[in-house]
Structure 1
Amino acid sequence: MGAHAVEVAEPPNASISQRPEIPLDPPSSVRDAAQYLQCRTTGSEPTRWVDPRVLWWPPTVVDNRGAGITIGLLEGDYSPSVADLEGAHITVRRFGARDNASQWLCGHGSFSASLLVGQGSAKLLGTVPAARLLIACTASPNGMSQPDTVAEALTWLAAEGASVIAIPLGQHDEHPGLADALCAAADIGALILAAAGNCAPRPIMFPARDPHCLAVGACTATGALLPNCATSPRLDIIARGHRVIAPIHDRAVCRRSGTSASCVLAAGLIAASISAHGSWSATPTIPADPLSRQHSEPCIARKNDETTRRVR
């Protein structure tokens, strides 16, 4: 990776604990991505404290999830050859120097897209299947995304009206041009989420640690933070990022763990809430009984004083 290249949060040459697992046998029934955001409790830990920043799927979201919402996804690359993405409202634009992208990068983008707008026709119903999805692909011929290219892609997503933007990418070094693009996108009303990175004990990656982003960490189904999730200087949101299954091409699925998956799932939950209610409340609520957390509203801590995001 070059000194300033932006990489996916779970690169294929990562440590074993970060590496995506091999494709699995397809599940026997269609999964609902919202299930990944519903609390699970274990018999041995019925009263374990759960971090109030963990997002749980709110029960008030209607079945027609994502109607009227435009959500942006910034990825390395993407392939439409996923059965569950047939019929989804997707617009793709590619930025930077292009070459034949690796199958792994395309699978990473298709995995994310399926978590958001999967139609449930084969393997997965996404969190916001009725939404309009904008995908900005930024991988260069060497498989990495240059910050200037990411900044251009982010500007396009915001200009096209994305209310929520998911960035499951990151790097350790900050970049002023990308920071300016984040500020501009936030100023026109986009809510930006970025993967914190699977690099603990190193600090949260950029752009997640930028003040105009919400840094998304990854947890298990019971709300326990993944041990390799970066946490410093602070996480803003935590979402399920452990053993998440989604399609990567055709009808093949893959199981992944890490902050890329949690970033995309968190963005989908927020977009679904905006679609259902016209806004997303960021006021933390902490149920007294952990067993009732699957019925709670989203819980987060914000980097600024704004507590509600409305549709633009």
Structure 2
Amino acid sequence: MVKRSTAALLILSALALAGCSQQAPSAAAPQGAAARPSHVMQVRVPAGTTREQIEATYGAPAVMFDAAEGYAVLALSAAQASPSGLRALSLTETPESNLGAFSASAVATVQGRSMWIKGDFNLWTAEGRSMWIKGQYDLIPENNLNFQIIRLEQAQTLAPKLGQGIKVAVIDTGVDVEHPAFAGSLAPAGEWRDFYAGDTNPDEEGVLGEGGYGHGTGVAGVVLQVAPKATILPLRVLGPDGSGDVLHVAQAIDWAAAKGAQVINLSLGSDERSAVVQDAIKRATERGALVVASAGNENRPAISYPAHDMVSGGVGERSLSVGSVNTAGLKSSFSNYSSNLELVALGENVYTPGPDGLLVSWTGTSVATPMAAGGLALALSQTPRVPLKDLTRKMAEKAYDVYSNGMNAPYKDKLGKKGLLNLEAFLKDVL
């Protein structure tokens, strides 16, 4: 995979908002990309049935199959997904559109300097250097206020293992795997996957300032600032334009769970509920993973999928939806909101690694979400005293109140029951 980018001293602004935009861009795949069916459909698999039997029964390839779990996902062409095609295949369920159903776009400001070439971030991740000096965040001073508000210094004191031994899957546009910021912090290369291109190299691909390029690198960088000794499992499901398919997102979630990811970050979203993706999330949480997803950036009174279904209890157990507020605690102008939303974090002007050694400022629910994912990694590395199933609920319950004194009155109870991520209060409650 060839990575194309501008020079490291380029200063620019991209044009769209970070994480979970439901406006699906063009679904055109790069040359050599994996097969991308028009539609997908999940069917039940009776005990003892083989993949070959399922494919013979329905006349369509089973692109996901697990007899033990009792399901298969069929890949359908547009003709097969038509009413007459479904009748010919003896399929009675409604297929899901697959192509470009998920997206993660971004507003990024690329600074005209590289702070990573000095090795600061590399030294911190490899050596565990303290990031705090007299209450100031030393690694990236631009994030000082953001991290003071969520009580990151106090949280890292409470969780001195700093996420060590916890694998966080970043399912996104990929990660710049050669970036010094990730030295010593990535899962073994044999676990990496690019589901979009159909290979094992999840490196970012694209042109800086266009589409989703750099989005996954930024998300992974936020996780590591919160939990600097966590391990990042990079899984690419979104193309250079920031769009991705139902099938690839579901495959990546299954892969992450199979590789032992304890936390899965989904800074992406869709207008439409995908049963294929939601069932993959349910399987992952049943295997012990905690899943966090961003709420979306259209300033709508409804949050995107899969975040929409991550309410506590039922299918939402061990999962969490995350929206965005600014440093004054006010709802970000772009953040979606809903009574389904469980938590908000800081999602405006968050600084994090960018491809080619750059320091990038991102804005959107995409960068609020990995703050929560990193906080869960902190807790898991210390062996919480509460059941695993209670961790995401506790994180939401121990948030700051963003409704006091009439604040956020138009959004009462639609930015979480309490509101803003408070890592110190959360860790004190679960450790």
Pairwise TM-score range, normalised by the shorter structure: 0.7 to 0.9
Residue 278 of structure 1: how far off its partner (Å): 2.9
- Tell me the SS of whatever aligns to 2:297: coil
For 2:219 and 2:333, how far apart are their aligned partners in 1? 22
Of 373, 378, 392, which aligns to 1:272? 378
For 2:374 and 2:423, how far apart are their aligned partners in 1? 18
| 1:97 paired to 2:197 | yes
The C-alpha deviation readout for 1:142-163, integer Å capped at 9, x for no partner, is: 6521011100000011111111
134-143 or 181-190, larger mean C-alpha shift: 134-143
Instruction: Report the counterpart of residue 275 of structure 2 in structure 1.
Output: 176
Contact 1:245-1:254 at 8 Å conserved across structures: yes
For 1:201 and 1:287, how far apart are their aligned partners in 2? 23
Instruction: Report the counterpart of residue 250 of structure 1 in structure 2.
Output: 356
For 1:158 and 1:37, how far apart are their aligned partners in 2? 29
| 1:110 paired to 2:217 | yes
Contact 2:172-2:237 at 8 Å conserved across structures: yes
Instruction: Report the counterpart of residue 303 of structure 1 in structure 2.
Output: none
Distance 1:155 1:83, change over 3 A: same
Instruction: Report the counterpart of residue 217 of structure 1 in structure 2.
Output: 323
Distance 1:246 1:186, change over 3 A: same
Contact 1:101-1:141 at 8 Å conserved across structures: yes
Tell me the TM-score normalised to structure 1 length: 0.75
Distance 1:69 1:35, change over 3 A: farther
| 1:21 paired to 2:109 | yes
For 1:298 and 1:34, how far apart are their aligned partners in 2? 20
Instruction: Report the counterpart of residue 56 of structure 2 in structure 1.
Output: none
Number of aligned residue pairs: give it: 269
Residue 172 of structure 1: how far off its partner (Å): 0.7
For 2:264 and 2:287, how far apart are their aligned partners in 1? 12
User: What root-mean-square deviation, in Å, do the aligned CA atoms of Structure 1 and Structure 2 show?
Assistant: 3.2
Contact 2:253-2:284 at 8 Å conserved across structures: yes
For 2:145 and 2:261, how far apart are their aligned partners in 1? 24
> Which is richer in helix?
2
What does 1:14-163 correspond to in 2, within 5 Å?
19-26=107-114, 30-31=139-140, 36-39=146-149, 56-57=151-152, 58-59=154-155, 60-91=157-188, 92-98=192-198, 101-104=205-208, 105-117=212-224, 126-140=225-239, 143-163=242-262
What does 1:190-205 correspond to in 2, within 5 Å?
190-201=289-300, 203-205=302-304
24-33 or 247-256, larger mean C-alpha shift: 24-33
Residue 282 of structure 1: how far off its partner (Å): 3.8
For 2:399 and 2:375, how far apart are their aligned partners in 1? 18
Residue identity (%): 24
Of 259, 265, 283, which aligns to 1:166? 265
**Structure 1: runs of 5+ lacking an equivalent:** 13-18, 40-54, 118-125, 300-306
Instruction: Report the counterpart of residue 332 of structure 2 in structure 1.
Output: 226
For 1:209 and 1:236, how far apart are their aligned partners in 2? 10
For 2:384 and 2:252, how far apart are their aligned partners in 1? 26
Instruction: Report the counterpart of residue 42 of structure 1 in structure 2.
Output: none
The C-alpha deviation readout for 1:38-75, integer Å capped at 9, x for no partner, is: 21xxxxxxxxxxxxxxx643534344411121111111
For 2:174 and 2:423, how far apart are their aligned partners in 1? 36
- Tell me the SS of whatever aligns to 1:169: coil
| 1:260 paired to 2:366 | yes
For 1:276 and 1:173, how far apart are their aligned partners in 2? 37
Distance 1:281 1:173, change over 3 A: closer
For 2:260 and 2:359, how far apart are their aligned partners in 1? 30
For 2:242 and 2:300, how far apart are their aligned partners in 1? 26
For 2:239 and 2:398, how far apart are their aligned partners in 1? 42
Residue 233 of structure 1: how far off its partner (Å): 4.0
- Tell me the SS of whatever aligns to 1:267: helix
Contact 1:216-1:239 at 8 Å conserved across structures: yes
Distance 1:176 1:83, change over 3 A: same
Of 333, 336, 341, which aligns to 1:235? 341
**AA partner of residue 261 (structure 2):** A
For 1:281 and 1:209, how far apart are their aligned partners in 2? 15
**Structure 2: runs of 5+ lacking an equivalent:** 1-24, 28-96, 119-137, 311-315, 386-390, 405-420
Structure with the larger RCO, 1 or 2 (CA within 8 Å, 6+ apart): 1
